[in-house]
Amino acid sequence: MDIWSWISELPNSEESWAESNSPLTFTLSSAAAGKSHGNVDSARSIQLRAERYTFESNSEAFVTFNICFEGFQPSKDIKNPVWVSDACSLSSEQPFLPLVLQLLQEIINRSPAVPESTCPKSQLERLKPEPISWIMESHSPDSFSSFFNLVFLTRLFWLCACDAPSEVGSFYFQSLLGPNIEALTCKEAPVLRTFLVSSGVDTELCFMRTLGYMLAKWIMLREVTVGLQALTPLSGRQQFGISYSKEAHGFWTLKGFAPVNAMKLTHSSDQRSKFPVIGAEESLLRYALAHQQLEAVIQLEYSVEFQDGYIQVNARVDNLRFHVAKLGFSKKEDDMDYFEEKHFPSRIRVWVGPEVGATYVSGLSLGRSTNNGETEVETQRFVKGDFGKTKTPHIKAEARVATKNKMKNWRWDQDADGNAAVFDAVLCDNMTGHELATWKSYGNGNGNSGNGNNGFQNRYSGVNRPFTKAGGLVFAGDDYGQKVGWRLSREMEGSVLKWRIGGEVWLSYWPNNVRSSYVETRCVEWCDEIDLPLIPAKEK
């Protein structure tokens, strides 16, 4: 589906437009719809059409694009377009910039509501054209094509799934989104990274929450629709979600986004039964849990020191931020308790270091020792005596011994994997000491969320809660101890090295304010390359 190439090759002049062999209709997807009333095969399709026109006052030519549905009930031939673009001037240096801006703006305006968001979409009513214009100029048509396909698929999602009959929505998921689902991961699309960085974090969140909502809906439909699994088979290690990294101002930053139901399931209470029984309330709970997205920011601070005979590279955790956003629910929903349930981070693993096989690193030093748990033993002795008028004096002694273990919710570790430094944080129940990411039992198994040994009941309230009020998690540099460091050969001075940065996040769900026996843990992994400039500062 190379829509951008077709748009870019549209003819300029009126004569070429009329005489060109290039079609002015691009069929996005088509499929046979069976026999019609006239016993003739009919076809359903979604089409993109281009129309050229000029104003009478001047000779400037414009082109507009529209989307049409054909072959769907109730009308077998829908001639009126369901979407029309703004006019694009063919004499402009970038004639199709207005089209790209319009698609992006409409995606942002329709992004799913996130109740706790502090950035209302009304403040993003108009995208700045300069970053988009620069992206179109600085990237090749082939590179920009994959990004435009993603943008067009996303805008078409709102049109087909929300503003069209259900027959059109089903056709879009099966015949258009399913075969092109890899476009939503954009593994090989540097244009998406450039767009997210240059457009600002507020636009980034709106755009990524729309992609998360699309993926969540597609995965839900794939799980319940017969035949859709065969059309879009998934490999065992395949996971959906987008991540990218950047280096700037002494920071290495990795950002990752993943819908919760697109993450790999490591274990759940359903695995104990071949045929789990899911009631109406349980279905409501799982529907709410499926409309959530993990949004992660892994930010490390680094420094470079040039010493006699070697280069010292230091890094430390500056900020680790993890937020589980609820997609698409308003505060007016009935059965609000179920829609307030959400997953929570139960383990965080971050690594950074030189590329695999690097020979220029002579040593790695970690900055935190393995912590041994503290145990306090308290001894109390009591002596009681009675020297009254009794003939026999009476003396009684008692001794009590109490043991206290100091336990925190999060256990921090540093480790090494080759020359990569690993930062690990594991959430533990401070009542039992169990690690939640691997704990497969919960409560007493009777579905009552309030009767088990659950130290995480009402986990988003109270002074000792392990999460923020909104259910997120923030770690600062003081949690992970001192910095880690590498010694590099002085021969690398003046070069820009490619290092690797990655993160692995486990999300768990335990019932919080509802009665349910359902528990699960999911995991997602991101890894990317990051720049390490080894260029000395110029002496003033």
**Would you state the pLDDT for residue 372?**
58
**Would you state the pLDDT for residue 24?**
84
Task: Tokens 């590279």: give the residue.
Answer: 313
Q: Residue 411: which pLDDT band, with cuts at 50, 70 and 90?
A: confident
pLDDT per residue over 453-502, tens digit each?
Answer: 455 677 877 777 778 888 788 888 776 667 899 999 999 999 999 999 99
Instruction: Name the residue among 162, 266, 273, 274 with its Cα closest to residue 213.
Output: 162
Range ranked top by mean pLDDT from 190-194, 275-279, 331-335, 428-432: 190-194
Range ranked top by mean pLDDT from 100-114, 220-234, 278-292, 295-309: 295-309
CB 360 within 8 A of CB 492: yes
Neighbours of 256 (CB within 10 A): 25
Q: Where are the beta strands (DSSP E) in 357-446?
A: 361-365, 375-386, 394-405, 410-417, 420-427
Domain boundaries, the chain: 1-234, 243-371+410-540, 375-405
> Residue 247: exposed, middle, or buried by beta-carbon count in 10 A (0-12, 13-18, 19+)?
middle
Mean pLDDT, range 16-26, rounded to an integer: 70
Element (H, E) at 418: none
- Rounded distance, CA 285 to CA 453, Å? 22
pLDDT for residue 370 is more than 50 = yes
**Would you state the pLDDT for residue 304?**
95
The percentage of residues in the chain with a pLDDT greater than 90, rounded to a whole number, is: 36
**Would you state the pLDDT for residue 237?**
45
- Rounded distance, CA 13 to CA 11, Å? 6
**Would you state the pLDDT for residue 65?**
94
Mean pLDDT, range 360-379, rounded to an integer: 75
pLDDT for residue 133 is more than 90 = yes
Average confidence score pLDDT of the chain: 81
Q: Residue 187: which pLDDT band, with cuts at 50, 70 and 90?
A: low
**Would you state the pLDDT for residue 438?**
82
Q: Distance of CA 390 to CAs 125, 359, 393, 395, Å?
A: 94, 88, 7, 12
- Rounded distance, CA 501 to CA 527, Å? 6
Query: Higher model confidence: residue 82 or residue 189?
Result: 82
- Rounded distance, CA 100 to CA 199, Å? 14
| 375-378-379 Cα angle (round to 5) | 145
Token representation of residue 160: 């087909």
- Rounded distance, CA 429 to CA 454, Å? 8
β-strands 310-326, 484-489 pairing: antiparallel
Task: Tokens 């020792």: give the residue.
Answer: 369
pLDDT for residue 235 is more than 70 = no
pLDDT for residue 41 is more than 90 = no
Mean pLDDT, range 354-383, rounded to an integer: 77
pLDDT per residue over 348-367, tens digit each?
Answer: 999 999 998 888 998 899 98
pLDDT for residue 48 is more than 80 = yes
Q: How far apart are the first and last CA of the chain?
A: 54
> Residue 108: exposed, middle, or buried by beta-carbon count in 10 A (0-12, 13-18, 19+)?
buried
DSSP symbol at 79: -
Mean pLDDT, range 333-338, rounded to an integer: 65
Task: Tokens 């108009």: give the residue.
Answer: 126
Residue 189: phi, psi to the nearest 5?
Answer: -120, 90
Q: Distance of CA 14 to CAs 7, 17, 99, 479, Å?
A: 16, 5, 20, 67
- Helices within 158-305 (DSSP H only): 166-171, 190-199, 201-224, 228-231, 280-290
Token representation of residue 450: 């309030």
Instruction: Name the residue among 64, 84, 69, 77 with its Cα closest to residue 29.
Output: 69
**Would you state the pLDDT for residue 37?**
44
CB 262 within 8 A of CB 218: no
Mean pLDDT, range 509-524, rounded to an integer: 88
Q: Which of helix, strand or coil describes residue 375?
A: strand
Mean pLDDT, range 394-409, rounded to an integer: 65
**Would you state the pLDDT for residue 446?**
38
165 preceded by a cis bond (ω within 30 of 0): no
Beta bridge partners of 305: 312
Mean pLDDT, range 28-43, rounded to an integer: 59
**Would you state the pLDDT for residue 39?**
40
> Up-side HSE of residue 241: CA atoms within 13 Å toward CB?
28
Mean pLDDT, range 150-163, rounded to an integer: 91
pLDDT for residue 26 is more than 70 = yes
Q: Residue 164: which pLDDT band, with cuts at 50, 70 and 90?
A: confident
**Would you state the pLDDT for residue 42?**
60
**Would you state the pLDDT for residue 125?**
67
- Rounded distance, CA 130 to CA 34, Å? 48
Q: Residue 450: which pLDDT band, with cuts at 50, 70 and 90?
A: very low
- Rounded distance, CA 180 to CA 149, Å? 9
pLDDT-wise least confident of 198-202, 246-250, 276-280, 320-324 = 276-280
- Which amino acid does the sequence have at 392? T
CB 318 within 8 A of CB 477: yes
pLDDT for residue 298 is more than 50 = yes
Query: Higher model confidence: residue 533 or residue 55?
Result: 533
pLDDT for residue 448 is more than 50 = no
- Which amino acid does the sequence have at 89? S
The beta-carbon contacts of 435-438 under 8 Å, at least 24 apart in sequence, are 435/346, 435/347, 436/346, 436/347, 436/508, 436/510, 436/521, 437/266, 437/346, 437/347, 437/506, 437/508, 437/521, 438/521
Mean pLDDT, range 149-164, rounded to an integer: 90
- In sequence order, what are the residues at sequence separation of 6 or more whose Cβ sits closer than 8 angstroms to the Cβ of residue 454? 442, 443, 510
